[in-house]
Structure 1
Amino acid sequence: MKEDFVEDYEPTKADSYRKKVVLDGEEVQIDILDTAGQEDYAAIRDNYFRSGEGFLCVFSITEDDSFQATQEFREQILRVKNDEHIPFLLVGNKADLTERRKVSEEEAKNRAGQWGVPYVETSAKTRANVDKVFFDLMREIRSRKLEDNKNTNGKGKDPGKRKKPKCCIL
């Protein structure tokens, strides 16, 4: 969020951020809820899932346990959202630590393929693909909203009262 990598980062239980960004020439506000995967906060996480319009499921390529946990998170999200086609990306972080890799790119791509979602590797330290995953997800959210609006023929929407687009990313 702050484009600053903290070497001795201490993960939080849950955190939220709000930021305005320009997506394809249009200013959008994004709300990012970091659920940090803490089991103690499962009830709160369900509320986050309910309000989320799109999801980045991030694991460390250096920890197989975090990769295995993505399966359960995906199932929880689908259960809460009751929607198999929710905008979703599987993200392998710490791509700068290839010598410590425990999860192969092939294994991660296979899981993403089974889920029918994109897979991207990032590095918070070098910022490789960090913006990409957020912008890719925001584009998926926007596309989904346009599709939903087209399917309802725009009913219930007054085009003269256009609100600033927002994305809620978990």
Structure 2
Amino acid sequence: MLQATLLEELLANFLNQIKDVIGILIVDLDGLIIARQSVKNFDEEIIGAIMSVLEGSLHKIKRFTDTSYGSGTLDTNEFRLFYLELGNVGSTRALFVLVADPFADINKYIPYSYLAAEKASQILSERKVSTHLPKLANGGRLKLISEERSNGTKIINKIILIGEDSVGKSAIANMYVNGEFYEEYTPTLGISIHNKELQITKDIKIIFSLFDLGGLKSFAKVRRHFYQDSKAVLIVFDYSRPETLKMMDGWIEEARHFIKNSHVPYIIIGNKMDTLKDKTEIRTAAQNLANQYNFQFFETSASTGEGIDELFMYLTSNLGI
């Protein structure tokens, strides 16, 4: 019951931000509606038509893949749909579905949909997550927390975490913000945002807004929307998978392509440092890569917390107030 309530609250918050959307559904692959929110005139007949379109399209997709339905946009004379598979959440495979009128520019809200869908996936996995969603500016861009100047100053530092799938980006963010580590791995669908507030002086607070960007290939075309206004870039590899270090050049190239400010600091992070007894070879390779780009290099273990405080103390000291 609590799960359904949280999902309904999340979807309601989404609708409050996006007026072009007339409804949102979370459905399983058998067509059962898990949660829904809508504006007026969104009746059972419309829902039936939507499910019919979805089922027909998914049946066609199933002929070509046995792994995932991914995401997609479907158009009919009555409405436009955007769907996104939430992945395996417990024993349930589910879809996050946006419904808009046929003339709506639904594409500009797709990045925001990934943020809401990630929260829905976390709720379905029975993990603690806030149903709050950041506000949207014109054009579908995210608004960060507003600065406060009446009783002091809040300084917002947007930090991007990137790297290959399952290197531990979410685990690093979760350990730093919440002091928790989840043994069961769930890939980030698209983006998850974690906020950590630090009281620097009586009048000054720093907020680290950690944008954990999914490393899945299905998210690559959307990821570019979240690089703007970054104050630092953390590029993570996995000590137990040396191939993830070899992929770092591609991540650096992607970030530099979308972040035009040459003064933004980049930090290479070797995560899961506790998984290898002899790290000499891969550590040397990582340090050489950092030297090549003139980046800082840190080692962390999200499971034990080792190195994480040192990493963010460095950021606090070097991003400025």
Identify whether the pair has TM-score above 0.5, normalized to the shorter chain. Answer: yes
Taking a change above 3 Å as real, the CA distance of residues 95 and 138 of structure 1, as seen in their structure-2 partners, is: same
Distance 2:266 2:200 in 1: 18
**SS in structure 1 of the partner of residue 246 of structure 2:** helix
Counterpart in 2 of 1:98? 276
C-alpha contact 1:64 1:102 (8 A) present in aligned 2: no
Contact kept? 1:122, 1:130, Cα under 8 Å = yes
Distance 1:10 1:100 in 2: 28
C-alpha contact 2:242 2:282 (8 A) present in aligned 1 = no
Distance (whole Å) between structure 1 residues aligned to residue 199 and residue 247 of structure 2: 32
Distance 1:50 1:96, change over 3 A: same
> What is the aligned counterpart of 1:41 among 211, 214, 219?
219
1:18 corresponding residue in structure 2: 195
Identity %: 22
User: In structure 2, do the counterparts of structure 1 residues 97 and 27 end up closer, same or farther at CA, with 3 Å as the change threshold?
Assistant: same
Query: Which consecutive segments of 4 or more residues in structure 1 shift more than 3 A?
Result: 22-26, 99-103
Change (3 A) 1:133 1:70: same
Alpha-carbon distance change, 49 to 110 in structure 1, aligned in 2, over 3 angstroms? same
Larger-gyration structure (1/2): 2
Q: Which whole-Å deviations, capped at 9, do the CAs of 1:65-98 have from their partners, x for residues lacking one?
A: 2212221111111111124432111000001111
SS of equivalent residue, structure 2 residue 247: helix
Aligned AA (2:242): D
Q: In the alignment, which residue of structure 2 is the partner of 1:6?
A: 182
C-alpha deviation, 1:45, in angstroms: 1.6
Which letter does structure 1 place at the counterpart of 2:187? P
5+ residue gaps in structure 1? Answer: 143-164, 166-170
Aligned partners of 1:20 and 1:29 also within 8 Å:
yes
Corresponding letter in the other structure for 2:181: F
CA RMSD of aligned residues (A): 2.2
What displacement does 1:138 show? 3.5
Do the aligned residues in 2 keep the contact of 1:112 with 1:119 (CA within 8 Å)? yes
Question: For the Cα contact (< 8 Å) 1:57–1:88, is it kept in 2?
Answer: yes
Q: Could you state the TM-score of these two structures normalised by the residue count of structure 1?
A: 0.74
Change (3 A) 1:102 1:39: farther
**Kindly tell me: are residues 9 and 23 of structure 1, through their superposed partners in 2, closer, same or farther at Cα, counting changes over 3 Å?**
farther
Tell me by how many angstroms 1:23 deviates: 4.7
Q: How many residues align?
A: 143
The structure richer in strand per residue is 2
- 2:293 alignment counterpart: 115
Gaps in structure 2 of 5+ consecutive residues = 1-176
> Matches of 2:181 and 2:284 in 1, distance apart?
27
* Superposition TM-score, scaled by structure 2 size: 0.41
